[in-house]
Copies of this chain bind each other. A is one copy, B any other.
């Protein structure tokens, strides 16, 4: 395993410590709960937004904490849901009179932890709602999922609800905005290589040199099929077609287009992928109204990429372009 790591069991704690040291004054780190929160949270004048998930998907979600985005993130260990009491503790620390919105990508372990934390928090008199995100079109059920998985499209939900909360919207309105964004967002990804979790020390699955995993999950879960490596235009075409056909998006739609790197793919390749996807969408009659190229939701060091589309209207575009300030500035 060729990684920057000391004892693999300290990987998450050392990453979070680095994140806190790089952002003094703006982020607070509470090591006993893996908690990264805004230094000024809770703000009584806004709904607090919280997300957690397994680690290994950075910048989701610990590097997405800041004004206009998340108020707190509580990750678990690599690819493992956070314990329910970590989530519960996080909710208590950012509880606002305007309420707390929990964002949860749809994985069974995450759902269980957040639903339990929601119940415990409500018993304490905290107003909480929980929104599940399931933008991945690749497969219906998966290794860790009943229903669809939540992947990079989650960024658009975070950004929209973060902006609405910052403007003072109430909990029900913020929830409705998030639900709407999730309903018009679709993603599919593919792996060129497997990823290597620090504690395992070897690739999570085997992928031959001449094959790709089309529709891969962000924990290396199987996708739709394993197929031969092809030129980029063909691979991107499969991702674009899968995403467009699912909603379906239709000619004339204005969309935000995100090309997300899975951790091991350099940004030069991501822009090449972006150009291909943009041209394929234009040829189908779509207007790309906003562009995102970079890493948003990764899978450790996996080489690969995902394509996300969100159907834009003026309200959503306004929320997506609102100011935000997070350690990883990706918009």
Q: Which residues of A contact B (CB under 8 A)?
A: 2-7, 11, 14-23, 55-56, 58-59, 63, 192-193, 209, 212, 229, 231-233, 235-236, 263-276, 278-279, 288, 291, 293-295, 298, 300-301, 303, 305, 327-331
Contact = CB atoms under 8 A, between A and B. Distances in A.
28 contacts: A3-B192, A3-B232, A3-B269, A4-B235, A4-B265, A4-B305, A6-B232, A14-B232, A16-B271, A18-B278, A20-B275, A21-B274, A21-B279, A21-B288, A22-B278, A22-B291, A59-B267, A63-B267, A63-B271, A264-B303, A266-B298, A267-B298, A267-B328, A268-B298, A294-B328, A301-B303, A329-B330, A329-B331
B232 A5 contact: yes
Contact of A266 (B23, B264, B269): B264
Contacts of A266: 58, 263-264, 295, 298, 300-301
A212 to B, nearest CB: 8
B305 A18 contact: no
Contact of A271 (B58, B271, B298, B305): B58
Given A4-B305, A5-B231, A275 B18 contact: yes
Contacts of A298: 266-268
Instruction: Report which residue of A15, A16, A23, A59 has the largest number of chain B beta carbons within 10 angstroms of its beta carbon.
Output: A15
Contact of A268 (B56, B267, B288, B330): B56
A57 to B, nearest CB: 9
Contacts of A269: 3-5, 15, 301
A269 to B, nearest CB: 4
Contacts of A22: 271, 274-275, 278, 291, 293
